[in-house]
Amino acid sequence: MSTSSETVPSTVSETAVAASPIRGTRLTLTAARLGRPGAPALDGVGLDIAAGEILTVVGPSGCGKSTLLRTLAGLLSPLAGDITEDRRPLTGPSADRALVFQEDALLPWRTLRANVELPLAIRGVPRAERREQAQAWLERVGLASQARQLPHRVSGGQRQRAQLARALAGRPRAVLMDEPFGALDAQTRAGMQDLLVEVLRGTGATVVFVTHDVDEALFLGDRVALLGAGGLVAVRDVPRPRDRGAHDDPARLALRRDVLTSLGT
């Protein structure tokens, strides 16, 4: 993926993409053991993710962050314990839960607009309506003029914006994001963080965002979950309002120190 700097839209178009907010889903893990048979990555996990919140997840490499995300997506079954969605057993993948990877996973033979149309086509939205909605989402993430471009003709940051538009176009109730900005340069990454917050505002979707970057976790998250070797270390509330310039805020500095100490760094 390209890591060159690019300008990410600082404001999001107010084009109406959906008539009503999405009702986020509540995701709950109770005494959960996660991973593959004979090789659990996490054990005894108890975590309640509120509908509509942004939960960021941080931890060292190999601690089970991606395993947690894939389990919530329904791609892995828990080895023990319970996982529920709105108090009902979570039994497999669902269009109500969108998964966003670090690699953009766009279909290379489809234009950006056709990629964004894909979840709408799966839901059976008529062609004219899904084209209109896809174009509106591309406008919302600043890609209206690139709608007919193939993925290899645009930058890495633009592909990630298209992936975000595709994920949200299907109106999922939960968006599960696995280090989506990890391969971007610092400037583009910051712009994508701002864009994500702006695009999510008012959607109502629940977001679980995995990252190695503590500062990214504290900027994006309403709460931050800390994973360590074998389990969940702690969950912390993040001070608000969200302000990129609040580096010297005592509460934020104290939380950052707490997170780094909990992670052993």
- Per-residue pLDDT of 121-174, as tens digits, reads 988 899 999 999 999 999 989 899 999 999 999 998 899 889 999 998 888 999
Of 32, 134, 42, 41, residue with least CA distance to 83: 32
203 lies in some domain: yes
Give the model confidence (pLDDT) of 49-86 as tens digits. 999 999 999 988 888 899 999 999 999 999 999 999 99
- pLDDT for residue 2: 44
- pLDDT for residue 265: 61
- pLDDT for residue 19: 46
Q: Which domain holds residue 187?
A: 27-105+173-262
Helix, strand, coil fractions of the chain, as percent rounded to 5: 35, 25, 45
Question: Which residue matches tokens 């709608």?
Answer: 147
- pLDDT for residue 8: 63
Averaged pLDDT of the chain: 86
CA distance linking residue 171 with residue 157, whole number of Å: 22
pTM equals 0.87
Average pLDDT over residues 222-248: 84
Domain count within the chain: 1
Secondary element (H or E) of residue 194 = helix 186-200
CA distance linking residue 178 with residue 69, whole number of Å: 7
CATH number, position 40: 3.40.50.300
62 lies in some domain: yes
Structural contact between residues 172 and 93, judged by C-beta atoms closer than 8 angstroms: no
**Strand 97-100 with 174-178, pairing:** parallel
- pLDDT for residue 145: 93
- pLDDT for residue 9: 61
**Two structure tokens written together for 149:** 């471009």
45 lies in some domain: yes
CB under 8 Å to 235, separation ≥6 — which residues? Answer: 47, 223, 224, 225, 226
- pLDDT for residue 18: 45
Higher-confidence residue of 161 and 183: namely: 161
15 lies in some domain: no
- pLDDT for residue 144: 93
139 lies in some domain: no
**Going along 50-165, which residue ranges are E strands?**
54-58, 80-85, 88-89, 97-100
State phi, psi for 15 to the nearest 5 degrees: -50, 130
> For residue 176, what are the β-bridge partners?
99, 208
- pLDDT for residue 211: 92
Structural contact between residues 163 and 155, judged by C-beta atoms closer than 8 angstroms: no
CA distance linking residue 41 with residue 21, whole number of Å: 35
Residue type, 65: K
- pLDDT for residue 247: 67
CA distance linking residue 177 with residue 179, whole number of Å: 6
Please check the confidence at residue 13 and state whether its pLDDT lies above 60. Answer: no
3 lies in some domain: no
Please check the confidence at residue 204 and state whether its pLDDT lies above 60. Answer: yes
164 lies in some domain: no
- pLDDT for residue 139: 92
Give the model confidence (pLDDT) of 210-234 as tens digits. 998 898 999 999 999 999 877 888 8
Of 46, 38, 41, 44, residue with least CA distance to 80: 44
Please check the confidence at residue 199 and state whether its pLDDT lies above 80. Answer: yes
- pLDDT for residue 220: 93
Structural contact between residues 115 and 141, judged by C-beta atoms closer than 8 angstroms: no
153 lies in some domain: no
